[in-house]
Structure 1
């Protein structure tokens, strides 16, 4: 068998290719080994850093009236906040949100541990004494953060595998021939009939109602404008004065104040501007 034939997948009777079992690539094995090594080294660094920080805080507690089990339990009241905060930050990251309480706990535990480790040195002329005292809590914070980061990536990769859609092992079969359209069956021809004369249908005109539709009554304002407009004709194409309008409106039982008379004449002349040019009628 040639090299080309060995790389081809055999065909199944249904026409789909079977998925051959392939060994894991060497690159994936190398990545897995590096990941495991990093996880082991990070875990070891975290344990050593927390142990050194606990030891320094234990000595500080012993110098200040705590003995035995209480002296060993007291460092947990400081360094445990680092672990609790980092775990809560990891939980919030998986939920795609920010947990400010977790950040505050981590910062409080880290700063408190560093400050207490440095304070346990006391007065020293060598600055390296303070550096040595501050390294374990700082290393504990960073190492535990790196460890939580690796756990975060592992959980995300597991989530992608569980939520990924399944890959079909058999290729879908597509039809190679289009579906044949059904043949049209010719309809039987109708027998020829002799034409039959049908009577012409004429449309009758609709009856026209002679009754007039009732008109809506005029408003008071329209009545006033109608009366004022009629005065121009009654006075022989002269412009009525306020007295003429007031008398006409009073006879009709409508409001007839001076302001009302002037407003009514203004509305009429606005509608017919040529009425303004007529001569003023002299009041009798």
Structure 2
């Protein structure tokens, strides 16, 4: 026989802060759409002006080449921004990608402005410079939104219901087994039932009769279940620093953190290591009670 106790895991004592999920999602979608539209318009204006510049300077008879030539300038911005996005997702700095964006946008602005001519009005130069500058800023904003989306997906890892939606609590069946009952007393034979003592061989003492102990009732109690969600660190540097706490249960110093980061190709910046250690201790305050091996 076993008694079952039900523990409701739905109520954990922590209330989640309600957020306007629908409004936030709508604003994010509108901002993303407008950013894409602005990026496309700005690149189109810059691209077409560079085509006119190419047509006026040696490519008037080669229409296809005049339309392909601006790509040798504007595509550097696209390639550089994509490489910057890849580096930021890996928590690195790609100076080569930054150089590509700088070179491509600088050349695009200079050629758009130079294509206006020498004796043009100052406002004509401003009008020519706005599309390439807008293309750079809009495309950078688009890559930032993509980075935020990918980082958020990496942080969750699993599909969870939006904040403010209460999940039904699922009862956990915890079984408490009772101790086995005492064995039943053996049945008496006919002579014993009649009150006669059994005849034992000479030299053999009679064994003591078993005592039928009354079973003790066991009270079934509910067992508390501690449900804790693991702390997930999307930042690889934070993961490395958090793992060092579990090696010898001491707070890692700067030398250990930078050595571990360098071993995984994450750089060896001391400020980055200290900042990551601060983030880890902020998310798990009990780690601050660990002893410090060597001040770092």
Cα shift at 1:174: 8.3
Structure 1 CA distance, aligned partners of 2:91 and 2:38? 28
Greater helix share, 1 or 2? 1
Residue in 2 aligned with 1:118? 113
User: In terms of Rg, which structure is larger?
Assistant: 1
On the 8 A contact 2:9/2:172 being kept in 1, the answer is no
Q: Does residue 45 in structure 1 map to residue 38 in structure 2?
A: yes
Give the TM-score normalised by structure 1: 0.51
Structure 2 CA distance, aligned partners of 1:99 and 1:91? 9
Please point out which of 93, 101, 122 is paired with 2:96. 101
Q: Does residue 92 in structure 1 map to residue 82 in structure 2?
A: no
Structure 2 CA distance, aligned partners of 1:145 and 1:79? 14
Q: Which has the higher contact order (CA 8 A, sep 6+)?
A: 2
Residue in 2 aligned with 1:209? none
On the 8 A contact 2:8/2:172 being kept in 1, the answer is no
SS in 2 for 1:77: helix
Cα shift at 1:124: 2.7
Alignment of 1:129-144 (within 5 A): 129-144=124-139
Structure 1 CA distance, aligned partners of 2:102 and 2:171? 55
Deviation digits for residues 43-99 of structure 1 (CA, Å, limit 9, x no counterpart): 000000000000110000000121211101000000100010000000000000000
Residue in 1 aligned with 2:147? 152
Deviation digits for residues 161-210 of structure 1 (CA, Å, limit 9, x no counterpart): 11799x9x65778899xx99xxxxxxxxxxxxxxxxxxxxxxxxxxxxxx
SS in 1 for 2:142: helix
Q: Which runs of 5+ in 2 are unaligned?
A: 12-17, 161-166, 180-296
Q: Does residue 15 in structure 1 map to residue 15 in structure 2?
A: no
- Calculate the aligned-residue CA RMSD, in Å: 3.3
Residue in 2 aligned with 1:191? none
SS in 1 for 2:7: coil
- Name segments (4+ residues, structure 1) moved above 2 Å: 16-20, 169-176
Structure 2 CA distance, aligned partners of 1:106 and 1:84? 8
Structure 1 CA distance, aligned partners of 2:99 and 2:110? 16
Residue in 2 aligned with 1:61? 54
Give the TM-score normalised by structure 2: 0.49
Distance 1:164 1:98, change over 3 A: farther
Structure 2 CA distance, aligned partners of 1:46 and 1:73? 19
Residue in 1 aligned with 2:25? 32
Distance 1:84 1:54, change over 3 A: same
Distance 1:92 1:163, change over 3 A: farther
SS in 1 for 2:6: coil
Alignment of 1:1-284 (within 5 A): 14-17=5-8, 27-66=20-59, 67-162=62-157, 170=170
Greater strand share, 1 or 2? 2
